[in-house]
Chain A
């Protein structure tokens, strides 16, 4: 097997979102500075949503596209997350059950902060490329949520962590990886990876984050250059400006991507400020569209950027897309693949944009109710019945398409139902 990549992908951006400029005003963040962050909306996880529902709701439309025979050839299911709900049992077991996949399938979970999705994707690619099970498929699902709690805010985080709340979203990305890569054909072996130990951003406690914003930005910028330089060592004819018609970045928030792109273009391409701005609009901005609407979904963000490029870019001719993935702690990777007009048409039929448009727009008052209620959904809760009446409009919105929701947790076991 010499060809592999994404056969289909879907982004699930939740049932409700918050306009983050309203949140910024409410939190009294500096508005002029805030605009430079290039954030617009963020998906907020509702009480009946958790990492399992995001994962299953992302994968369901893809699995439904398959015949039973094809579905039964999914032999590898990897969930990629930093929002785990159990130290031992992986999310993939629930996802496997609610998608009704074959029992002859490997189930496990991968963690490496926001790099997890790329880690899962690359492992799946290698499984396909190895040819050890001809015709097999792999399903890679990233799922991450952030639940801010009242207690967290009272601890008065460092000033710059105020960016974390408006930029942290919730969402799942599912990718069917196979030897028929209609959507994204990976450039085999064209991978530059770069990682080292650094304490920039982490989740050392079950329900809160910690870290050093400056260090995190520096590490991200440094990795964005070093991973590409390693890629260029392996793909000697690569040229940052001309080899990739689009660039999909891991996007914690747009402003960070803009800074990294500017630095690389200045340093490696030696481009002028005007050229850099134009290049950003042409090659990077199409990927920001979905990211600006859902917020940072961690493990899946780089793929949300990729999906946004595929839906919003110009694919009259096949285009090569360069992808940069970064996960704090840290590990990063620059890799690439080809997208064609046929792949774009297939993706557009999944109507990701329309799904984002359907979300309920919550008020800051709704959001504050969620934040208070999040205390009931902390890590390790033994028995929980979610409050389905907390935001009735959001609950009603879920009637349109079949979606999985968390019905209850009893003796730690999570029970879900379709609605």
Chain B
């Protein structure tokens, strides 16, 4: 899956959890906290994204991103790890 597709999925999850951001023009530098997401919102956004992408990874693997661009990159990295493991089997 391409980065942009992951990024767009992430944005759809953010909008589902925070409907007030429907009109917001998302940038990679945007930070969830700055967008008004509290800790529960942030975890729900991650849970939703991982679910939509059918990724079987612990949410804790997505710790440490500073903005939503980095978060999308982390998700891609995890996805590649899983694909790599599947190829080995």
Contact = CB atoms under 8 A, between A and B. Distances in A.
Interface string B41-74: 0111011000100000011101100000000000
A349 interface: no
A36 B33 CA distance: 16
Majority-rule SS of B interface residues: helix
B38 interface: yes
A151 interface: no
Contacts of B38: 33, 36, 160
A219 interface: yes
B47 A221 contact: yes
Interface stretch (A67-75, A89-97, A171-179, A261-269): A261-269
Nearest to B46: A218
Nearest to B47: A263
Name the interface size band of chain B: 10 to 19
A255 B59 CA distance: 18
A267 B56 CA distance: 12
Contacts of A198: 60
B51 to A, nearest CB: 6
Contacts of B51: 266-267
A219 B58 CA distance: 8
A221 B63 CA distance: 14
Given A259-B44, A263-B47, A266-B51, A222 B39 contact: no
A213 interface: yes
A22 B51 CA distance: 38
A163 interface: yes
B43 A259 contact: yes
B75 to A, nearest CB: 14
Contacts of B40: 36-37, 217, 255-256, 259
B43 A221 contact: yes
Given A33-B38, A160-B38, A267-B51, A214 B44 contact: no
A160 B58 CA distance: 22
Majority-rule SS of A interface residues: helix
A217 B60 contact: no
B60 A163 contact: no
Interface residues of A, number: 22
A58 to B, nearest CB: 30
A230 B62 CA distance: 23
A214 B71 CA distance: 14
A215 B46 CA distance: 12
A259 B38 CA distance: 12
Contact of A221 (B33, B59, B62): B59
A131 B51 CA distance: 45
A262 B60 contact: no
Interface string A157-192: 001100100000000000000000000000000000
Contacts of A255: 40
Nearest to B51: A267
Contacts of B33: 159
Contacts of B42: 214, 217
Interface string A8-48: 00000000000000000000000001001100000000000
Contact of B44 (A37, A219, A222, A263): A263
Contacts of B60: 198, 215, 218-219, 222
Contact of B43 (A36, A163, A217, A267): A217
Interface centre among B33, B51, B59, B62, by most A CB within 10 Å? B59
Contacts of B62: 218
Given A214-B63, A221-B59, A160 B44 contact: no
Contacts of A259: 40, 43-44
Interface centre among B40, B44, B46, B58, by most A CB within 10 Å? B40
A215 B47 contact: no
A159 B38 CA distance: 10
B44 A215 contact: no
Given A221-B43, A259-B40, 19 more contacts: A33-B38, A160-B38, A163-B39, A213-B39, A214-B39, A215-B63, A217-B39, A217-B40, A218-B46, A219-B60, A221-B59, A222-B58, A222-B59, A255-B40, A256-B40, A259-B43, A259-B44, A263-B44, A266-B51
25 contacts: A36-B40, A37-B40, A160-B38, A160-B39, A213-B39, A214-B39, A214-B42, A217-B39, A218-B43, A218-B59, A218-B60, A218-B63, A221-B43, A221-B47, A221-B59, A222-B58, A222-B60, A255-B40, A256-B40, A259-B43, A259-B44, A262-B44, A263-B47, A266-B51, A267-B47
Interface of A: 33, 36-37, 159-160, 163, 198, 213-215, 217-219, 221-222, 255-256, 259, 262-263, 266-267
